[in-house]
Amino acid sequence: MIFLKTDEEVELLRQSNRLLAMTLAEVAKVIAPGVTTKQLDKIAYEYIKDNGGEPSCLGFEGYPATLCTSVNEQVVHGIPSDKVVLREGDIVSVDTCVGLNGFIADSAYTFPVGDVSPEVMRLLKTTKECLYLGIGQAVVGKRVGDIGFTIQQHAEHAGYSVTREFVGHGIGRGMHEDPEVPNYGRRGNGVVLKSGMVIAIEPMIHLGRKNIIIEDDGWTARTADRKQAAHYELSVCVRQGKADILSTFEPIQEVLKERFI
């Protein structure tokens, strides 16, 4: 069932998404060679709790952490560990959900670790472009397939492939609500978008082929060819003419600018 949100509910979702954005900014401050993904997870958990939120990923269907930290060829759902140490040239996708005032936010950002190759930086740039192009289709009267088609076309035109097994989704009081929002598809197909629908759009794009493998932990998905993958995600409310972006990367980008410029 698709739940259309009232204006008041949209504002509550905006608040939870703001807390999530600030959480990812705190994580951004410490991402560097030598840092473990478990350290990132501890920072996120403490920041969310200290600011009145709930780490919604923790315990969800048995998931054991606050963050999903997916390094290099890992696409999504990498489990933080004190054995996973970030290295120069890595990329790490940090994905999480935050509950606040009864509503859940969902966002992800892929960070370069130190000096990353131009080939991989181009993947990150293109994946972020896919996200914003998809958001541009999240308007009243379009269909879910228009979002997926636009993302897929941009990724494949750049020479990349798109994850099939994991998709975007509706979000609100539940972490995963209807409709599903694939990052591939046919223009004009799928659910019609209506004002008040809140969806998380999250392109997962591979440097190599689209095939994935689930690791023995039952969670971590990686590319079958072990080439890098990138993942960016924002939550938006469908509106007439232009989507209302409830999440933001601005706090993250401010941190990165201060650290590296």
Q: CA nearest 181: which of 149, 148, 205?
A: 148
* 53 within some domain: yes
* Whole-number pLDDT of residue 260: 56
Question: Residue 117 sits in a domain of what CATH number?
Answer: 3.90.230.10
pLDDT attached to residue 171: 98
CA atoms within 13 A on the CB side of 24: 33
| Any domain includes 12 | yes
Q: How many domains does the chain have?
A: 1
Look up tokens 């999504």; give the residue: 76
**pLDDT tens-digit series, residues 5-56:** 999 999 999 999 999 999 999 999 999 999 999 999 999 999 999 999 999 9
Is 1 a member of any domain? no
Token pair for 30: 């410490």
For the cut 50, the answer to whether the pLDDT of residue 139 exceeds it is yes
For residue 149, is it within any domain? yes
Strand partners, 91: 112
Quickly state the pLDDT bin for 261 (edges 50, 70, 90). very low
The single residue listed with the structure tokens 């993958």 is: 229
Q: Is there a domain that residue 218 lies in?
A: yes
d(CA 11, CA 244): 11
* Residue 90 maps to a domain: yes
Tens-digit pLDDT profile for residues 226-244: 999 999 999 999 999 999 9
94 in a domain, yes or no?
yes
CA distances from 60 to 54, 174, 176 (A): 12, 11, 11
What domain range is 148 assigned to? Answer: 7-260
pLDDT digit string (tens) for 82-129? Answer: 999 999 999 999 999 999 999 999 999 999 999 999 999 999 999 999
Q: What is the 3-state secondary structure (H, E, C) of 170-203?
A: ECCCCCCEEEEECCCCCCCCCCECCCCCEEEECC
- In-domain check, residue 246: yes
CB proximity list for 109: less than 8 A, separation 6 or greater? 24, 28, 93, 94, 232, 233, 249, 252
The pLDDT score that the predictor gives to residue 258 is: 77
Is 52 exposed, middle or buried (CB count within 10 Å of its CB: 0-12, 13-18, 19+)?
A: exposed
Locus of tokens 């920041």: 47
* Phi–psi pair at 248, nearest 5 degrees: -155, 145
C-alpha–C-alpha distance, residues 84 and 95, integer Å? 16
